[in-house]
Amino acid sequence: MNKSTLYKGCLEPIIMRLLKDNGRMYGYQITQMVKEITKGELQITEGALYPLLHKLEEQGILETELENVGNRIRKYYTLTKAGKKQTSMAMEELKTFMQSLQLIVNPKLA
Amino acid sequence: MNKSTLYKGCLEPIIMRLLKDNGRMYGYQITQMVKEITKGELQITEGALYPLLHKLEEQGILETELENVGNRIRKYYTLTKAGKKQTSMAMEELKTFMQSLQLIVNPKLA
DNA sequence: AAAATATACCTAATTTGATTATGTATCGGA
DNA sequence: TCCGATACATAATCAAATTAGGTATATTTT
């Protein structure tokens, strides 16, 4: 089993959490921040990230604005109002999930 | 996003952990114990469980013995020596993963 | 006694969420 | 000048689950 298998399914709430904390981020920045925060443990691949961002935008959870930086274009993502609501729920679920995992891994402490 | 999406990828270490703690378990018992420990939060589907148990047996991580209970057969799984070693590593990875998640969800506390 | 639910195993088809590979293009430093 | 970093994107593939189906015994409820 590949170690990266573990966070399959956690990518969406992770992105939402980062956007909630930082307000406005672009894709590449998200990959770098996750790498930094987790000291290289979680590396988001671009093939997973970009399609997911597009999906969330399509669902009205994220909205975008383009910004020119030099000759390049950056695509900034922000949580919509609906997206913020969704994020709160996602965080609750993530919290419950982590507690459940904790209960299994450490039944004595719980 | 479905809430059960979250623990996609965590099933294998969960099973290994339970077998490490309980020594000897059969499939149905694993589903029930997970449900009980997590107060219904994590429900392992049989379609995921049985093929995974078979795979782990094939890989020499688990070994089985059949036991007759009344007119029915129960298939008990136990960690092999190699399986115990694998489990230790899997637990390390799971721990690291959970810490990484914690770092993202709660950057201030970490 | 019959019906429903729980126990106990299993597999096949499909879905989903990722990886891997590939492509385009700009920017900065050795 | 070339390489690595920045910055976006998509297509093919893989892996791990869900959904749905099947078999059969045991127990509880009506």
Q: Where are the beta strands (DSSP E) in chain B?
A: 25-26, 62-69, 72-79
Residue-wise pLDDT for A5-25, tens only, equals: 898 899 999 999 999 999 999
Pick the CATH number of A3-105 from 3.40.50.620, 1.10.357.10, 1.10.10.10, 1.10.287.70: 1.10.10.10
Burial, A96: exposed, middle or buried (Cβ in 10 Å; 0-12, 13-18, 19+)?
A: middle
Instruction: Give the whole-angstrom CA distance, residue A17 versus residue B106.
Output: 10
**Interface membership of B7 toward A (CB under 8 Å):** yes
pLDDT along chain B (110 residues), means of 10: 77 97 98 96 96 98 96 96 97 95 83
Give the CATH fold of the B10-101 domain: Arc Repressor Mutant, subunit A (1.10.10)
Give yes or no for CB of B7 within 7 Å of strand C.
Answer: no
- Which chain B residue has its CA at the smallest distance from A90's CA? B3
The helix-helix angle for B46-58 and B11-22 (nearest 10°) equals 70
Q: Domain map of chain B by residue range?
A: 10-101
Protein-contacted bases of chain D (C-beta within 7 A)? 6-12, 15-22, 24-27
Query: Mean pLDDT for chain A?
Result: 94
Hey, which residues 47-106 in chain A have their CB within 8 Å of chain B? 90-91, 93-98, 100-105
- Protein-to-nucleotide distance from the CA of B46 to the C1' of C10, whole angstroms: 9
Instruction: Give the whole-angstrom CA distance, residue B10 versus residue A95.
Output: 15
